[in-house]
Structure 1
Amino acid sequence: MTELAIAADGLRKSYGDKTVLDGVDLAVPEGTIFCLLGPNGAGKTTAVKILSTLISPDPASGPIRVGGHDLATEAQALRAAIGVTGQFSAVDSLITGEENMLLMADLHHLSKREGRQVTARLLERFDLTEAAGKPASTYSGGMKRRLDIAMTLVGNPRIIFLDEPTTGLDPRSRHNMWRIVRELVSDGVTVFLTTQYLEEADELADRIAVLNDGRIAAEGTAEELKRLVPGGHVRLRFTDPASYRSAATALSGASRDDEALTLQLPSDGSQRELRSILDRLDSAGIEADELTVHTPDLDDVFFALTGGAGVPDQPKESVR
């Protein structure tokens, strides 16, 4: 069985009469990307702060282990196993990128020689070698984010918390950040990611937990979550009216559009259901001119589980 990098049972946090986390259970396998998805105020950052020992959970919380260390009794060892990149950059803009890295090396008690070796290696890895001697104040948002993560990696953590790491980045910088995250995981690092970007969660995460009002509303792979939401369908378009009428007879129960010569059937988009539809057409000697499959995306899931926070994209269809 895969070991868990993060395990939390009944995570709770309140401020006065405001409950931020209300019994959150987390199980994150080693070497995976786990995404905590939710609207503003859902409790994502609070969860990261607790798991990284920045704040304490409520006493009513159950046991919490990160990197094999108990949060309550082994906080120092836990900190040594993790790295944290918060919503706001920890880069010191008054010094150069290289100086930021060397400062982190000093904080990790590396020797001068080792610190310079690690700094040079990470600056090259994150394509920052040319800019290393320039003040960080001259860096673009994407460069600062890359430097921020490079600084996090100085201590060689096996678990990294990325709290909304691509907020405010342009699309190119966001895609570069996704590449970096994938590379980290390919090296065996576990990534705990929080985001409001549905596309980001869909693109990166091995598992996604949707956090809403301090509780996990649903958890699973992106495909598992999409199957929770109704509305999937298959649409068949015909150019020959006779074929259309024969298909409507063969596919009893399909919604008809006689003007557009299209039929629509409810479907979860699974291979089994598509095969069944095509087999029924083949048995009747009918061939559709176009078949499109609509499956709910994470926008639909997000709206269904969080009550409509944010603005949804249009449903996506794939042509087959």
Structure 2
Amino acid sequence: MSKFSALQARENAAGQFEQVIVQREIDDLPVGELLIRVKYSSLNYKDALSASGNRGVTKSFPHTPGIDAAGVVEASSVTEFSVGDEVIVTGYDLGMNTSGGFAQYIRIPASWALKRPKGLSMREAMVLGTAGLTAALCVDKLEQAGLSNDGGSVLVTGATGGVGSVAVALLSTLGYQVAASTGKAEQGDYLKRLGAHDIVLRSTLQEGTDKAMLKEQWAGAVDCVGGDILFNVVKSLRYGASVACCGLTAGVGFKGSVLPFILRGVNLLGVDSVELPLVVKASMWDRLSVQWKVDLDALVSEVTLEQLPAAIAQVLAGKQVGRVLVNLG
């Protein structure tokens, strides 16, 4: 098979970006040591930005987004991988400026791929995807900074999104009392099914941006939104507590002060899952496949390649809840 189906983001004659399903040639894929038949991918916020023509994510178009892929090796020029190996690829340049997982085939450097952990199917790996990996990295950083499940309530902002949903489910599975923050009040039941103990409206977290300090409240936090909400969380951490920061949907800037840091000894922890060394990714995937394995059925919806443009529109409109799994057959 030399032709395959792919979603392509491209600019039309009116200067607007659209997503169309096209037939591509395998020979058109970039050079790489591994040719992978993609079985599943997932839709992330960064994918939606790329698909809408955001040149801060993707520099040139037409382009196939998809920063996640799970599939089967069909050709390998390295000894570390053999034909038939099932692999996971997340991050690095996949789906950004390298043709990504919203296609039946990808070709990549071998240094981007991990063999699928035995405890996760390819489908389960992509229900998690970059969002699940990021959520796990946040929890890991918080625990390394001293968070324990007997210390009080842990806040998750942007809790109905992909990272937030997995973070709520994972923290709850690990025995934490979770407060889930969202701007979608109607999704309270969904968040409680994931394990949230309390629901906090986004508007509540937006109060007090003009104050240098807020009342101590959270034993820890996973922040998926950034902006002033992030620094309001910093200002309301308990003494010595930490927030892991991984998102920017509320903005990249905030009104900050050194006071929470020097008066309460709190920590702002940055989390990246894109350029993370492969050995660290492998360790985290192993943990997600065994000790931290979570039932994610309540937070996933499944789409085909043809249904993907509608799902992208939902993400861009801020209406998507949970994770979107892309089944490439």
Indicate the structure with greater helix content.
1
For normalisation by structure 1, the TM-score amounts to 0.25
Larger Rg: 1
